Structure 1
Amino acid sequence: MTETTIDLVAKLTNIPSPTGDTANIIQTIANDLKPYGYTPSENRKGSLLVTVPGENTEQERFITAHVDTLGAMVRAIRPDGRLKLDLIGGFRFNAIEGEYCQIHTQIGKTFTGTILMHQTSVHVYKDAGTAERNQDNMTVRLDEKVRTAEETKALGIQVGDFISFDPRTEITPSGFIKSRHLDDKVSAAILIQFLRRLAEDKETLPYTTHFFFSNNEEIGYGGNSNISDQVVEYVAVDMGAMGDDQQTDEYSVSICVKDASGPYHLGLRNHLSNLCDAQSIPYQLDIYPFYGSDASAAMRAGADVKHGLLGAGIEASHAYERTHTDSIEATEKLVNAYLFSTLC
């Protein structure tokens, strides 16, 4: 295996996968894992499940990362030929102002454009800086010769076409990776790398473990299904949120103690932090006040499991995000330590 985790993150971020249009990335991951002897399967919602038999087949684990991202849909075609947006996922219009994008049409064509305020030109609009960034004012300027709605429709663009944002992925010499969609393609890359190494090293996990790549997390119901009755522990690997009053940073793994859904399982949380202490893995405990995960979605769906959440620290979540290789490495170490540990 020559591809590093950072390389894999960069590859995944450059595969458009807004929630609702994730078939390509799911197929890419399935094709990646099959040569390692795995037999990935898709559920009816389009998520990917990889089950790895372990020494204990009576008690099982379930671990997830989500591959769907923030994005948009064509809400309407304006009279001037530009596109009106409808957002997919929990972010704000100001986070995508000036961003390059792709429009993925239902007829198989892809067009490029830029997301801009209608009142962008300071030479024309007095309120260019103060106008509200909202659905009425933000548009997609197409890189096509269109001046009317009819000309745009003639390209094959229509309401409901998906719009993905340019990730602008960059890896710096100082070890930072900055990109859109690090949430949650960092975690997906970590789980893929774990599965690759497991197969190459011919190791056996202590418990049968289900690796689930969910595709609807950004809209709230990601990994809430396909959980067998034998599953005892459920761990979501997702981003750690940074900001005021947060301990999470870009150089350690974040273990969530509570999010908007409530506290995570105390015993499992302590098990994760004890593993970090025992193996000298840098970590932070944190509360994410406006956050939900695959694990919290599973709890709302009625899963009878112990649930936990960990992940790399991500700066500027749901905007142009950034993390550091230190945080990714710490998260990889904790995932490895956890999956080879006994149940909490």
Structure 2
Amino acid sequence: MPRLDVDIDYLSEQLRGLLKIPSPTGFTDSITHAVVDELVRLGVEPEVTRRGAIRAKLKGRAKDPSRALIAHLDTLGAQVKLLKPNGRLEIVPIGNWSARFAEGARVTIFTEQGAYRGSILPLKASGHTFADEVDDQPTGWQYVEVRVDALVRDVADLQRLGFHVGDVVAIDTQSEFLENGFIVSRHLDDKAGVAILLTTLKAIVESGKKPPVDTWFVLSIAEEVGVGAAAVLPHDVAAMVTIDNGTTAPGQASDEFGVTIAMADQTGPFDYHLTHELIRLAREYDIRHQRDVFRYYRSDSASAIEAGADVRTALATFGVDASHGYERIHMHALRSLAELMTAWATSEVEIKRDAKPLGSIEGFPHQPTAPAEPDIEPSETLPARE
């Protein structure tokens, strides 16, 4: 089955809506409700775990070996560490991100009594007071604080308004969708991945054709703190593709255009056969792509393997410039990745032996080990000896 047409307007609409819902790790109930509603609207019946992770099965022509596509609903954020004597809030990060990108951010602080607005500022924020000391102070979470937009001058005022240690701080996305296709926003990791997953599902459902095997659409809620797929992946899944961001930066092969297929991250190589299946499909359907290796990166795939799942995993990404900072992507990458995911989800299973978790060696695949055949004779490329 060829790759399916994907609805770019729907993809953009879903991403815009997802970016409006605060969802730092540990505060994902609202986005779980929203995505469940959309899955039901698309015609699938989702299951929700105790903590709010989601999985929905699209029945295939056969049950096994089932597949899964996964993205994560949670984002970076912060949490109140201390109510400060000056009426401000000391915070610590949720997830791994630098305070360098927190300075100046507008935020929402969620207390038991309601939500408040505020800003993350360096301790020395007034140029008219501190002059060059504003630039000289170090970068780090101990050097920033939240200024609450309410009448608070001390700890008693904060307590009166209902602030407590542990309150969740959501960082504004400051999203811009530009006419040239660029999208600038915080939390594109991984709300763009969720939008791609929903767009892939929509394309398959509307095609009216069943995938060859049962295919799960999975949304995790704690990827940014390392949990990810560990608690939500069905046991019968044989192959899982994670949809997440690629790190477009100097020294990386990732790109804001096309699909970036990860060959490895800090936890090691991804499954050889599944990864090369994605590469083959990208070539076959003329989907622009490149390969990359990520040194300081882990995803839902790692959490599944570390939890003991015997599942083939791959990571297909949309290139993000300044990941975990002021992020930027291009719609070309989102469309390309959605197209590749429709091609994979509707392609025939290559390793049929994967239908059983254990078996004999019969049908187990081989990796290429034979010497490569040269395209040209050495005499055509090397100068003749004198």
TM range (shorter): over 0.9
Task: For 2:276, give the aligned amino acid.
Answer: N
Runs of 4+ in 1 over 4 A off after TM superposition: none
Task: For 1:224, give the aligned amino acid.
Answer: A
Structure 2 portions without partners, runs of 5+ = 1-6, 351-386
Which shows bigger deviation, 91-100 or 220-229?
A: 220-229
Determine the C-alpha separation between the residues in 1 that align with 2:53 and 2:122. Answer: 35
2:132 is aligned with 1:112: no
2:303 is aligned with 1:297: yes
Number of residue-to-residue matches in the alignment:
343
Change (3 A) 1:166 1:229: closer
* Percent of paired sites with the same residue: 33
2:191 is aligned with 1:185: yes
Q: Could you report, residue by residue, the CA deviation over 1:256-281 in whole angstroms, capped at 9, with x for unpaired residues?
A: 00101000011111110110110000
Does structure 2 retain, via aligned residues, the 8 Å contact 1:97–1:115? Answer: yes
**3-state SS of paired residue (1:81):** coil
Determine the C-alpha separation between the residues in 2 that align with 1:250 and 1:313. Answer: 4
Choose the corresponding residue for 1:308, options 310, 314, 318.
314
Determine the C-alpha separation between the residues in 1 that align with 2:13 and 2:87. Answer: 38
Does structure 2 retain, via aligned residues, the 8 Å contact 1:254–1:284? Answer: yes
Choose the corresponding residue for 2:211, options 205, 210, 232.
205
Task: Give TM-score, length-normalised by structure 2.
Answer: 0.86
**3-state SS of paired residue (1:113):** strand
Task: For 1:137, give the aligned amino acid.
Answer: Y
Change (3 A) 1:84 1:28: same
Q: CA deviation at 1:147?
A: 0.8
Task: Give TM-score, length-normalised by structure 1.
Answer: 0.97
Choose the corresponding residue for 1:131, options 133, 137, 143.
137
Change (3 A) 1:71 1:77: same
Task: For 1:268, give the aligned amino acid.
Answer: L
Q: CA deviation at 1:110?
A: 0.6
Q: Describe how 1:1-344 pairs up with structure 2 within 5 A.
A: 3-107=9-113, 109-125=114-130, 126-344=132-350
Larger Rg: 2
Task: For 1:174, give the aligned amino acid.
Answer: N
Q: CA deviation at 1:96?
A: 1.1
Determine the C-alpha separation between the residues in 2 that align with 1:226 and 1:316. Answer: 29
Which shows bigger deviation, 41-50 or 307-316?
A: 41-50
Does structure 2 retain, via aligned residues, the 8 Å contact 1:33–1:196? Answer: no
**3-state SS of paired residue (2:142):** coil
Determine the C-alpha separation between the residues in 2 that align with 1:343 and 1:77. Answer: 56
Determine the C-alpha separation between the residues in 1 that align with 2:294 and 2:321. Answer: 13
